[in-house]
Structure 1
Amino acid sequence: MNFIKEWIISSYNNSKLSIKSCIFITGNSGIGKTHAILNICNELDLFAIHINSYNCCSSKQLTDLLYKGFVSSLIQNLTNNTQKKIIIIDEFETLLSFDSTMNIQLLHFLNTNHKHIPIICISSNEIIKKLGEIKKLCMFYELPNLNDVEIHNILTTYKPSITFKESLEIIEQSNYNIKKCIQIVSNTYYNNIDDVCDITDLYAVDFNRNKFKQLITKDQWIIPLKFHENLIIELNNRIGLKANKYNFYKKFIYNFCYFDIIMMKNNEIAIDYFISSIYLLFNFKQKKNTSHNLNNFTKLLSYLSLQKKNNKIIYKLNIPNNHFSGNYHLSIINRKFIY
């Protein structure tokens, strides 16, 4: 950590943007890379500008966000904030997975005539070989895994009664992935083989918050998207006045937008908020002999769900840049109800 901190401090001695202005922080998935960088930024009292899969999905957007980050910040001007800026590009492997020219665009931007602002790119180790020319020019620093004692101390904050032996078993099971360790300890981790509950349970007769939370945690992006995409069909399978169904759907869309915004800040709170937003669905009783069909899942939704996954692009859609709100669910709302 001292190396990263010293790099940031010394980088402000540069007056012009260059290759030396950018460093890649790599490491295994889930070891706390982003958390560590944010802690350093807070310690140094820096104004961090975040770029990640929530607000960037193309090279064009990356360039636009970088440019805006380098010009005067409206927020800083309005609040008389004099903090030094730093740009954090998180999940670089995800950005590269749906636009393979991200690395080239970043390299081009580093060769522009802007004033210097340090740029930290956070990514997994696997991405290094795919970075092309930029990996020969920029500095790289691999963040090591936390040791067993450090992870155990973290887990005790979630489960005070956990023993060191139990922590070691969880650490080995998760391959030092802190996020998975925490999910296992808090009983919110489910792998793809785990069939504790099915997505159709979201349309069950009885509302069960804990069960829904376990389900959505499996995939906090794709499951809410599937739920929304099939909601109209589900409402038609329930008893109630059309006006009441319409009002529920209108309110759900409104809450769905807020859910998308909250997801940028805190996943746990967002999931709880989403579950609360579907509570009123259970006021409409199901018709007899109805079945739940979740096959209505469009290519556009599949494409957007990849923004949070480290997979290759399956669908390439020509969506105008100005139609993106920066949040995926909001983008879906815009396309479904404006056009």
Structure 2
Amino acid sequence: MNSVTGKTALITGASSGIGQELAKLFAQDGYNLVLVGRSDDTLDRLAEVFKGNYGTQQVTVIKKNLSEEDAAQDVYNQVKAKDITVNVLVNDAGVGLYGLFATDTDWEREKAMIHLNVLALTQMTKLFLYDMLARNEGKILNLASLLSITPSPLMAVYAGTKAYVYNFTQSLVNELKDTNVTITALLPNATDTDFFNKAGAQNAKVTDEVQDPVMVAKDGYEALMAGKPKIVPGGLKNKSYEVLAYVAPQEALASLMHSKMLPKPEPDADNDMSPKLAWGIGFGIAVLAGVALTVAYNNTSVYDKARYRYKAKSAGNAISDALSSVLDTVADVYQNAKSKAEELAPKAKKAEEELVA
């Protein structure tokens, strides 16, 4: 606690959810804060909490709707007018919108979402990154999503904006590699915030598997401080989703995501599945998918196997290497079992014929 003095972190979307949890972590580490959000009342209360609980020396509150034209420029101008040096920029603010793109969703809301998720984030990054490079010091955290690497029916425009954020961030990682400025993409899975309510997706199946924003913020904070190019919080399960996104067909991913985004079925006492049964079915599907992937992998050329390994490794985490090893192992087991079955088949057939005779 209070390990940093004199540095300032600017967090957009700081009034709730992941942004609020990130602000708390910066406060605990002794950063001064610039909190940006629509609700100045909430931000004012947070400022008092941070000062009282963590001894934060300076908290600047900027009430701003970043989906409005030139809002990012106005935030930057206010910060410069107060002579504040932003050492860390966190682009957390973002919204979603649920429904069929062609018939359900409203264009004005989509346009505002694109402005917030893409234009404001890009302009904030450009303005503050320029100053960071001039000092050759600074860190940026951009909130992407696991949806940034998968198609997402029923949230198509949102997923598209997050794909931009992820690609944009990784491109800047390369541009900044010879400097002391780092940029990190945070790719959380569905998280227990007000996001789904605001997006109109509060009844989507995926809300049954949301993860803790405290955990997401902690993993993102640690990756940011370590200068990592990206982080998928949530352990092995979410990292396996990342690997799957790189190696599975896009059509299959789209179907999977569509099923997760569908509304929850109406409760039915006669057909209600217990949690154990639901887990069992999910495990069965995972096994079938694994077998299908293994068979497909086993029947590919040496070149394609090497290509798949490369894709898996590009996920940039421990499970990537494990995936290639497991695929090879399972493929070998499959081949051995297949060979053994081919050896036993004639004997079984002969025994059947003798039994019939």
TM-score in terms of structure 2 length: 0.25
Q: Highest CA radius of gyration, 1 or 2?
A: 2
Pick 1 or 2: higher relative contact order, CA cutoff 8 A, min separation 6.
Answer: 1
- Whose helix proportion is higher, 1 or 2? 2
TM-score in terms of structure 1 length: 0.26
